[in-house]
């Protein structure tokens, strides 16, 4: 009862031979981090917090991704925010900070076969004396891996050199060596994780530099889908050396069903066009405030209402499911089973180590129905194929199965749809009933931090604050009279994004007339304060907030400042000339700080507590120090 394919679209026949062999499938999945992307997720009540993790990581339930790449926290900003390092200083070591350990453990608990990968975006300033490519950085990575192993009983499958900051052949060799001599020979090294059009240039040097070739196990780059390609020559060398090509960060900045189908297209084309056998999209769960960049568009679940337990599952999640519930790391891209569809779209065939196989098909660019024929031969299951489909109207819905007849399978593919066909079973569209309704941020908000009796249990981070630059941790007050939140990063970090000064945010940008205050303690030479009416924190191109800032220095100088971030348009679109133009505009755009008023206060000094308050009433803004305007 399927409609006749348009006579103008030629049908495609795939000959699937069970013994044809093919490249190993290393997984599809997501990035967590590259921005403090789970900062509000960690604050969710149960059972919602478990549900959100189930939706991403539980096998045959939701996205069911097979691989996860996390950011190794480094104190510095890495797009939306910053995450606390395990080593704020060279002597320091603490494996309980932050929430990345927890994300890794929860994900792996749900799926022990989940393949884990990690790399740093930022790093503390002591690393290499501010130069990331150093023996310090290799040692810093090993320390993190030791924590992962000894405290959390987890092992990485692979590690990168650094996210999108060029390349260093010496560092790749140093890191490989340092991993080997510290008991991490089994962790594969990928390089160099850049997105620009020179991102594969290093592969040519691997031909002549033998120790580089021995050090880099996996050739990796970012943004292949709609970005610059993996040249055929690179693909040929990778095949010759038996080294995989991985896409260690792609982007699908789309909405709704378009995002779902584009994710499948991205994964399919990464293999078909670039030979990439693993692909992770940035990023998994949107646990960030909406005034942070990329709060919504790329994510599978929006989870930024921890005070209510509300969360939103986006269509994108089912794009991952079309792969994740039909394949596993260690399967293979069956030779002859992957192709562009003549009428628009693409198909990839994955085969299990046994006889099972799955096809993942998208027809995003098709304009009419088209036919697909499969001819099955040798060592392939002859079982009925289950069929799951997503369209604009309904996502991830099981259709009637198709039984091969004399080794032949025929089906008609409608345009703008995603299909998964498989001899495996057990897929489901996992959902949870009774997701709480969203509520506003709870006001009045008052926090003394005394409720965090065991700060370590909280990763040293209170609920609802989102560090944007550096790390603000729960700790004892300097006068030992209780707890406080303290900025604990002692020097400038090797920030991934150009940064401003340490700050953390909380609340809602819809607030207009309100008061915000904090008791502030300054070390000698310091200045700090409170901000309000902050309506953006900037992006990876300059993480400067937009808002009003009441600042107090330890010598009693007090200023009310309006802080305006620069223009930060993304320079991804267009040719090199257009990209350069966007960058120049960003650099030239007006921004920075304008002082609205300054006063010199007496009886203010370092190592004292003072209350700073900002009051917003229409067009009047009042700063108060110790309750005096």
Output the smallest distance, CB 63 to ligand 147, in A.
19
Interface stretch with ligand 147, choices 179-187, 354-362, 461-469, 564-572 (CB under 6 A):
564-572
Q: Which is nearer to ligand 147, 410 or 579 (CB)?
A: 579
List, in sequence order, every beta strand (DSSP E) within 18-126. 27-32, 67-72, 115-120
| Contact predicate 470/75, CB 8 Å | yes
Provide the terminal-to-terminal Cα distance of the chain, rounded to the nearest Å.
Answer: 77
Contact by Cβ (8 Å): 221, 193: yes
Residues 108-167 that bind ligand 147 (CB under 6 A): 163-164
Q: Which helix (H) or strand (E) holds 137?
A: helix 135-150
- The reply on whether position 222 binds ligand 147 by CB under 6 A is yes
Residue 132 beta carbon to ligand 147: minimum distance, rounded to whole angstroms: 15
Q: How far is CA 92 from CA 85, 88, 151, 503, in A?
A: 10, 6, 16, 22
Q: How far is the CB of 283 from ligand 147 (least distance, A)?
A: 8
Instruction: Please identify, among the stretches 147-155, 267-275, 557-565, 568-576, the one whose residues bind ligand 147 according to the rule CB under 6 A.
Output: 568-576
Q: Retrieve residue 336's tokens.
A: 């002859």
Give 341-393 as a 3 state SS string.
Answer: CCCCCEEEEEECCCCCEEEEEECCCCCCCEEEEEEEECCCCCCCEEEEEECCC
Q: Hey, CA dihedral for 264, 268, 269, 270, is it positive or negative? A: positive
Instruction: Report helix, strand or coil for 529.
Output: strand
Burial of 572 (0-12, 13-18, 19+ CB in 10 A): middle
Q: Which stretch binds ligand 147 (CB under 6 A): 168-176, 387-395, 457-465, 566-574?
A: 566-574
* Residues touching ligand 147, count (CB under 6 A): 17
> Residue from 411, 421, 571, 612 that binds ligand 147 (CB under 6 A)?
571
- Closest by alpha carbon to 396, among 387, 385, 384? 387
CB of 463 to ligand 147, least distance (A): 24
The answer to whether residue 613 forms part of the interface with ligand 147 (CB under 6 A) is no
Site residues for ligand 147, 417-446, by CB under 6 A, read: none
Please, which residues bridge with residue 475 across strands? Answer: 484
- Coil, strand, or helix at residue 248? strand
628, two tokens: 């005096």
In the list 99, 171, 195, 289, the residue contacting ligand 147 (rule: CB under 6 A) is 195
Could you give the CA distance from residue 37 to residue 466 in angstroms, rounded to a whole number?
Answer: 10
Q: Is 254 in the site for ligand 147 (CB under 6 A)?
A: no
Distance between CA atoms of 250 and 258, rounded to whole angstroms?
A: 16
Q: Does 223 bind ligand 147 (CB under 6 A)?
A: yes
Determine the interface stretch with ligand 147 among 98-106, 465-473, 505-513, 565-573 (rule: CB under 6 A): 565-573
Closer to ligand 147 by CB, 136 or 164: give it: 164
Q: How far is the CB of 179 from ligand 147 (least distance, A)?
A: 23
By the rule CB under 6 A, 369 interacts with ligand 147:
no
Among the residue ranges 309-317, 401-409, 426-434, 567-575, the one whose residues contact ligand 147 (CB under 6 A):
567-575
The tokens 């703008």 sit on which residue? 416
Classified as helix, coil or strand, 260 is helix
In the complex with ligand 147, the residue whose CB is nearer, 121 or 549, is 121
Among 192, 282, 357, 549, binds ligand 147 (CB under 6 A): 282
Report the residue from 251, 278, 364, 389 that binds ligand 147 according to the rule CB under 6 A: 251
Q: Does 540 bind ligand 147 (CB under 6 A)?
A: yes
Q: How far is the CB of 84 from ligand 147 (least distance, A)?
A: 17
The three-class DSSP label of residue 621 is strand
Q: Is residue 581 a contact point for ligand 147 (CB under 6 A)?
A: no
Strands (E), 209-336: 218-222, 245-250, 276-282, 285-286, 301-305, 310-313, 332-333
Query: Considering beta carbons, is residue 78 or 270 the nearer one to ligand 147?
Result: 78
Which residue, 184 or 246, has its beta carbon nearer to ligand 147? 246
Q: Is 249 in the site for ligand 147 (CB under 6 A)?
A: yes
Cβ–Cβ < 8 Å for 379, 18: yes
Window 286 to 305, contacts with ligand 147 (CB under 6 A): 294
- For residue 228, the minimal CB distance to ligand 147 (Å) is 9
Between residues 54 and 193, which has the closer beta carbon with respect to ligand 147?
193
Residue with structure tokens 């203010």? 604
Residue closer to ligand 147 by CB (options 398, 578) is 578
Segment interacting with ligand 147, rule: CB under 6 A, options 125-133, 199-207, 366-374, 570-578: 570-578
Options 562, 572, 601, 621; binder of ligand 147; rule CB under 6 A: 572
Q: Output the six-digit token pair for 409.
A: 């399978």
Cα atoms in the Cβ-side hemisphere of radius 13 Å centred on 341: 33
347-383 burial code (b ≥16 CB/10 A, e <16): bbbbbbeeebbbbbbbbbebebbbbbebebeeebbeb
Which is closer to ligand 147, CB of 54 or CB of 284? 284
Pick 582 or 612: Cβ nearer ligand 147: 582
What residues form DSSP beta bridges with 611? 519
Q: Which is nearer to ligand 147, 60 or 569 (CB)?
A: 569
Does 34 contact ligand 147 by CB under 6 A?
Answer: yes
Shortest reach from residue 15's CB to ligand 147, in Å = 38
Strand 67-72 with 115-120, pairing: parallel
Minimum CB distance to ligand 147, residue 586 (Å): 12
Residues 72-101 that bind ligand 147 (CB under 6 A): 78-79
Nearest CB to ligand 147, comparing residues 560 and 571: 571
Residue 249 beta carbon to ligand 147: minimum distance, rounded to whole angstroms: 5
Q: Counting every residue, how long is the chain?
A: 629
Please report where in the chains the tokens 């646990």 appear, as a residue: 287
Closest-CB residue for ligand 147? Answer: 34
Is 194 near ligand 147 (CB under 6 A)?
A: no
> Does position 389 bind ligand 147 by CB under 6 A?
no
With contact defined as beta carbons under 8 Å apart, do 547 and 531 qualify?
Answer: yes
For ligand 147, the binding residues (CB under 6 A) are 34-35, 78-79, 163-164, 195, 222-223, 249, 251, 282, 294, 540, 570-572
């Amino acid at each position: 009862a399927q409609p006749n394919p348009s006579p103008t679209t030629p049908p495609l026949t795939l000959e699937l031979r069970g013994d044809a062999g093919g490249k190993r499938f290393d997984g599809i999945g997501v990035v967590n981090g590259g921005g403090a992307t789970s900062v509000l997720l960690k604050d969710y009540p149960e059972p919602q917090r478990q549900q959100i993790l189930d939706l991403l990581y539980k096998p045959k339930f939701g996205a069911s991704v097979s691989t996860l790449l996390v950011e190794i926290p480094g104190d510095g900003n890495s797009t939306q925010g910053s995450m606390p390092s395990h080593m704020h200083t060279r002597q320091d070591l603490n494996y309980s900070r932050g929430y990345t350990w927890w994300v890794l453990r929860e994900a792996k608990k749900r799926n022990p076969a989940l393949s884990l990968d990690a790399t740093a975006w930022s790093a503390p300033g002591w690393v290499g004396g501010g130069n990331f490519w150093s023996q310090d950085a290799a040692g810093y990575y090993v320390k993190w891996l030791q924590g992962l192993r000894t405290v959390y009983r987890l092992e990485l499958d692979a590690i990168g050199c650094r996210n999108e900051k060029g390349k260093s052949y010496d560092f790749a060799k140093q890191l490989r060596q340092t991993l080997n001599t510290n008991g991490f020979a089994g962790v594969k090294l990928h390089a160099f994780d850049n997105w620009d059009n020179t991102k594969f240039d290093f592969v040519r040097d691997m031909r002549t530099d033998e120790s580089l070739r021995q050090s880099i196990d996996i050739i990796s780059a970012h943004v292949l889908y709609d970005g610059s390609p993996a040249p055929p020559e690179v693909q040929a060398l990778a095949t010759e050396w038996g080294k995989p090509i991985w896409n260690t960060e792609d982007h699908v900045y789309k909405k709704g069903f378009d995002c779902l189908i584009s994710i499948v297209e991205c994964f399919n084309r990464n293999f078909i066009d670039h030979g990439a056998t693993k692909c992770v999209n940035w990023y998994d769960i949107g646990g960030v405030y909406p005034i942070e960049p990329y709060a919504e568009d790329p994510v599978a679940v929006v989870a930024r209402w921890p005070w209510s337990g509300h969360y939103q599952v986006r269509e994108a999640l089912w794009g991952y499911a079309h792969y994740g519930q039909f394949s596993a790391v260690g399967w293979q891209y069956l030779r002859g089973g992957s192709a562009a569809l003549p009428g628009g779209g693409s198909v990839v065939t994955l085969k299990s180590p046994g006889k099972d196989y799955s096809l993942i098909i998208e027809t995003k660019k098709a304009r009419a129905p088209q036919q697909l024929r499969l001819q099955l031969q040798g060592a392939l299951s002859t079982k009925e194929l289950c069929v799951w489909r997503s369209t604009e109207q309904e996502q991830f819905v099981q259709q009637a199965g198709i039984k091969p007849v004399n080794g032949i399978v025929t089906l008609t593919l409608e345009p703008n749809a995603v299909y998964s066909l498989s001899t495996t079973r057990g897929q489901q569209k996992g959902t949870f009933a009774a997701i709480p309704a969203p509520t506003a941020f709870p006001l009045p908000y008052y926090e003394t931090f005394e409720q965090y009796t065991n700060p370590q249990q909280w990763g040293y981070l209170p609920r609802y604050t989102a560090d944007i630059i550096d790390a603000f941790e729960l700790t004892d007050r300097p006068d030992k009279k209780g707890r406080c939140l303290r900025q604990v990063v002692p020097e400038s970090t090797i920030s991934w994004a150009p940064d401003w000064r340490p700050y953390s945010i909380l609340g809602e940008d819809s607030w207009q007339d309100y008061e915000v205050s904090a008791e502030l303690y300054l070390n000698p030479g310091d200045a700090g304060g409170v901000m309000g009416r902050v309506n953006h924190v900037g992006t990876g191109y300059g993480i400067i907030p937009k808002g009003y800032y009441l600042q107090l220095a330890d010598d009693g100088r007090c200023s009310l400042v309006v802080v305006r971030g620069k223009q930060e348009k993304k320079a991804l679109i267009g040719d090199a000339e257009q990209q350069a133009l966007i960058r120049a505009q960003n650099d030239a755009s007006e921004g920075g700080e304008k002082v609205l008023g300054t006063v010199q206060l007496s009886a203010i000094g370092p190592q004292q507590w003072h209350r700073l308050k900002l009051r917003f009433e229409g067009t009047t803004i009042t700063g108060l120090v110790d309750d005096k305007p």
